[in-house]
Structure 1
């Protein structure tokens, strides 16, 4: 649920001094190749003029397409093809045809390699956004592969343009790191609804006798199994889950998709009588990301990761170092990482059960240090599943400028010996990335985690929504100095 359904369309364009049949035939070949794995709508209109452009847009609208491939089957007409991208209501990819054979370079030469330069120039002149692949020219099979890479990017753009983030309460005291300048949310096309914790508490109390509670309790029992260490709290957790789900349905308004930035302390525990971590994890697994500590840009990042990966994500603190003795005994020699390539990612218990190697739902140790244990129940704890991950975040920082970072790494299959939802993470050159991207870029301690390597798509999404390329940080190899890195280090 809470996921855009993509309907991709393709339109071929043709310069009037080239055979239209060249673009049309090449388009059919691309569609045939792409259709082996995916579904696409083939627009029958080949665009030579602005009149054709209007006909193509009308045809795409009637077919309910929400993402578009503009295909230069030959050189292409600069104005109509860029106006297609301007007036189409959704993300657009522009790609061009390569010549197929040396035996047909008279009537079969389309010069789209040249036409792509003019297309990109005209897009810039008109301030039009479009996705252009790394090498945007190819034969039918090449172009079909580029279009496959466009799919998660397009889903993310559609999702952001129809997203509302619902927040509850101000961020906790001394959590200025979760500051969220709203202007950039609007620039991204995202709506924001900010509510009081008291509003949420009132709605929660109204669900006290909700007839659906037993059904949700049963679902929780089945999911937790032997990890259900606090069965007495399930009724309240179910009540809270229904409160959030009903709030989403009642408040999404004109938007199709929702993410939540929730409050979880300091007064939440004493008033609600539990912590919301496990419920947050369940909604996130449903496709409705819920961030902790009213982290609005954390929720935004989680949503992007959910849509790109089509999988459950999580939000973690970039939390603590791996002790040297633990590294020496369990990591060194077994995995090709230095000590300072590793760290522990942690949160109290918001990672979904499906992303934990084992889990138990119990009380939260950090909160229980200052509060009665009985009001800190509801956290989901366990070691995070090993495997490839992408650590990333899109953020409007203190100066209200849109920035982001992306790093590929993995969760190691090494027991953490600790508490919370936690894992031992390894990112190549993490120490330098930590210092010259995370610290230097003034990023907060929360990072979103997608389970797999999705950096290529995320990078293109960040560019598409307006992040300048120099503002997208990544874990650079040792041979590549950061701008702020001391070359004599």
Structure 2
């Protein structure tokens, strides 16, 4: 995949000067070896930080090595001033972890007290207004810390990606989907650039690509991907032309940014002017790591990108769309065994989910647009969706969103797509999330989230939650168990 940052991890051991320096160094080497065993590449800085001069040496070493995500390792108690100065001057995502004592046989000369040192580190981090990643239990032996560092690699990818991300949008956000029309200032606050454009800009660029010599190559790629599912081969030249239009726009307008996403208006004038629907192209871009959200959903595109960075996998954006009929539930009780009917819903969109995330897929036409724009006619300007059942398996729902008064909030829920035929159209799947009914009422409705949800094709809640905390998002909602009531939940049900 392209369009996501490569994380270069580095580790620096710190040591308080009244504790054995060699203990911290030895423990650092053990962590690096454990990371290798987990297939985690990490640069081992040779400078161990005891004072501020050591901080400068370590920073120089990290810069030469190209490190962009830093693990600060308390091999013993640690010097709370220098170690937090190191995090502050590094100016990239940082993680703090501490060494556990390894054996009862070495608790006199070999006791490091890093368990204690993490407490003082946390206070000094607060003084400097720093928010590093600190795992839920940040103390461990080498093998345990390697697993935590693996999580940090994914978290850091999110932070690095957002800091160099640019959103290209085309067209005003639709009046009929006003919920997607959220203030964009909070995105600037986390380092994201936004370039809003007219649909005419997009259309003009599309026309200029009409005879692009690269079109046959893209058509060949599409044919190879669709295979027997290529229901409308005649539309592929226009779709290839559109894909090149977006990719060239990205290449020509990144400016100071390194990564990009799109949020494009896609109906109804799009069909009458461009003469196709853009869903399949959106799916192909998402597969490459370049989310292209429909309905000019800027926060939807950013949410997809966050998922892509967190999982190193393509994501999709779906409507939290319709309930599952009771007769479908009753006929498939074995597959729905762990869930109540209210835990289920169907996630749907016109055809923007990458084919690699589909159980089966085929090029079709957009039924809703066809009803509106060319009823009683053979599909023409509504061709271009990628339809089928979305593949079953673990998922996470996620969205980052601004409130009307410019406060960032998000939600995360781990769940699954169930392998039951949805018996409907579009890119669609049956989603199951524990306590979805309450989550739907008290988070999605109660906190005024829009209808679009980002979908990760694995359980990514742990990584997404930590990344949101590092971004400073204070309100991170999740699907609470029955024993935990929502703030506004009626206790007299």
TM-score between the two structures when normalised by the length of structure 2:
0.97
CA distance in 1, matches of 2:230, 2:156: 39
- What is the aligned partner in structure 2 of residue 403 from structure 1? 409
- Asked if 1:422 is matched to 2:397, the reply is no
RMSD: 1.0
The equivalent of 2:127 in structure 1 is 125
Q: Which residue matches 2:29? A: 28
CA distance in 2, matches of 1:437, 1:113: 36
Q: SS of 1:142's equivalent?
A: helix
Cα pair 1:172 1:266 within 8 Å, conserved: no
1:186 equivalenced with 2:188 (yes/no): yes
- Counterpart check, 1:100 vs 2:102: yes
* CA distance in 2 between partners of 1:43 and 1:113 (Å): 22
Contact 2:335 2:418 in 1 (8 A): no
Does 2:345 align with 1:343? yes
Aligned residues of 2:12 and 2:58 also touching (Cα < 8 A): yes
CA offsets 1:339-370 (integer angstroms, 9 cap, x no match)? 11100000011011111111121211101111
**In structure 2, distance between residues paired with 1:186 and 1:158:** 15
Q: How does 1:205-284 map to 2 (within 5 A)?
A: 205-284=207-286
Moved over 3 A (4+): 331-334
- Structure 2 CA distance for aligned equivalents of residues 400 and 10 of structure 1: 36
**Ranges in structure 2 where 5+ consecutive residues have no aligned partner:** none
Tell me by how many angstroms 1:333 deviates: 6.6
CA distance in 1, matches of 2:125, 2:181: 34
Match of 2:486 among 478, 482, 486: 482
2:399 to 376, 393, 399: 393
1:320/1:353 Cα in 2 relative to 1: closer, same or farther (>3 Å)? same
User: Which of these residues, 364, 369, 372, is aligned with residue 370 of structure 1?
Assistant: 372
Alpha-carbon distance between aligned partners in 1 of 2:172 and 2:96, rounded to the nearest angstrom: 42
Superimposed CA distance per residue, residues 106-135 of structure 1 (whole angstroms, 9 cap, x where no aligned partner): 211111111000001110111012000110
CA positional deviation for 1:151? 1.0
1:105 shift after superposition: 1.5
SS of residue matched to 2:31:
helix
Distance in 1 (CA, whole Å) between partners of 2:58 and 2:334 is: 59
> Are the structure 2 counterparts of residues 333 and 11 from structure 1 closer, same or farther at C-alpha, using a change threshold of 3 Å?
closer
For 1:405 and 1:303, how far apart are their aligned partners in 2? 15
Note if contact 1:179-1:398 (Cα within 8 Å) is conserved in structure 2. Answer: no
Deviation string 1:233-265 (CA, Å, 9 cap, x unpaired) is 110000000000111111111111111111101
Is 2:4 aligned against 1:3?
A: yes
Q: Secondary structure at the match of 1:103?
A: helix
Q: Does 1:155 align with 2:157?
A: yes
Matches within 5 A, 1:428-443: 428-443=434-449
Query: Secondary structure at the residue paired with 2:260?
Result: strand
